[in-house]
Amino acid sequence: MLKKSIEDKLFELTTEELKILEKKEVDFSLYSSGHNNIVDIENFISANDLIAIRKHTRFIDFPTHTHNFVEIQYVYSGSITQYCNDKEITLESGQILFFNQKVSHRVLKVNKDDIGINLLIKPEFFNYLFTLTKTDNSLFKFLLGTIYKEEANSQFLYFKVSQIRAIQESMAELITELYEPTINKEIHEVLIKLNVAKLFILLIKHIDTLEITSVDVYEAKTIYKIINYIENNYIDGTLKDLSLVLSLPDYRISKLIKANTGKNFMELIQIKRLQRAEHLLMNTNLPIIEIAYEVGYENLTYFYKIFKKQYSLTPTNYKKMKEDSNVN
């Protein structure tokens, strides 16, 4: 829950909103650096920052536009209706919408009780996020790739998460940093980055809240489920079992996996097993034979063979190399 003082600030009229009520039009020069409908993040953020947080402007229709950043829109109160790639989406209180840079959208006028918060995120933040998490979670990487990669399609993701308390608390922390920022600017920026990273992780945890808004999103959500299955069943998971879990024929699953990852099911299983083996190798003192068994390999010779193929070193030499590099 937000403090009342912060909630009161959310409902206050901004300078821009006062001008809109007077002139009944958007001053697009506040958003775009040129004579186009591309919203430029540099208008809201310093060159060294990666994330801007701002309240959604009320009382006016916002014209069709794209932007040079990833946007996360959150509705704190009321609702916001917009057209994303010509598809109508009404975002209710507590819900979240992601847009990548290629989405064309326009936003309908909202009233005084309709409060939205927009997170504007430079693409470079996602490189920072990978470094920050150092995760081997393929689902995490796939979600980020869907959103920010240059080759990604025009994509928006709609999460109905109003009942997910952890996500609501995470957004409350971000809103608090907007209106009552930590005095130390560096700490303030780190807190925002960490909270956005936390938000991504929570959304992955609650991927079932992702609404199917297009064929692309249906396929993306199915891929999320496939990767999540592999994350949790890499030791003994099978394509047949996955087919039962998803209620999809195995040939359809195989086709989706190949189209989205360039690999087949067993290759993804092997990659996950080796990632887990590498983690155990570097973070435990387990004997290599136990590590091999732990990740699903009973044949130690075969484990050595595929590990060396993946990492160009045997497990023993890989561990030694990493330990030596940490010492130096």
93 pLDDT above the threshold of 80: yes
Bigger pLDDT: 80 vs 47? 80
Task: State how far the Cα of 171 lies from the Cα of 1, in Å rounded to an integer.
Answer: 10
Token pair listed for 4: 């009342």
Nearest of 83, 91, 85, 128 to residue 108 by alpha carbon: 83
d(CA 80, CA 111): 9
pLDDT value, residue 269: 94
Check: CATH 3.40.50.720 for 214-328?
no
Tens of pLDDT, residue by residue over 215-270, are 677 887 888 889 889 989 999 999 999 999 999 999 999 998 888 788 899 999 99
CATH tag, 4-209: 2.60.120.280
Render the burial of 76-108: b for 16+ CB within 10 Å, e for the rest. bebbbebebbeeebebebbbbbbbbbebebebe
How sure is the predictor about 149, in pLDDT bands with cuts at 50, 70 and 90?
Answer: low
Predicted pLDDT at 217: 74
- Residue extents of the structural domains in the chain: 4-209, 214-328
Give me the amino acid identity at 271. Answer: I
Cβ neighbors of 44 (< 8 A, separation 6 or more) are: 52, 54, 120
- pLDDT, tens digit (0-9, with 9 covering 90-100), for 267-326: 999 999 999 999 999 899 899 999 999 999 999 999 999 999 999 999 999 988 877 776
Instruction: Kindly report the three-state secondary structure assignment for every residue of the chain.
Output: CCCHHHHHHHHCCCHHHHHHHHHCCCCHHHCCCCCCCEECHHHCCCCCCCEEEEECCCCCCEEEEEECCEEEEEEEECEEEEEECCEEEEEECCCEEEECCCCCEEECCCCCCCEEEEEEECCHHHHHHHHHHCCCCHHHHHHHHHHHCCCCCCCEEEECCCCCHHHHHHHHHHHHHHHCCCCCHHHHHHHHHHHHHHHHHHHHHCHHHECCCCHHHHHHHHHHHHHHHHHHHCCCCCHHHHHHHHCCCHHHHHHHHHHHHCCCHHHHHHHHHHHHHHHHHHHCCCCHHHHHHHCCCCCHHHHHHHHHHHHCCCHHHHHHHHHHHHHC
Quickly count: other Cβ atoms within 10 Å of residue 257's Cβ.
22
Average pLDDT, the chain: 87
Q: Using 50, 70 and 90 to split pLDDT, how confident is the model at 183?
A: confident
- Pick the range with the lowest mean pLDDT from 13-27, 64-78, 147-161, 300-314: 147-161
pLDDT value of position 6? 93
Q: What is the C-alpha to C-alpha distance for residues 123 and 327, in angstroms, rounded to an integer?
A: 34
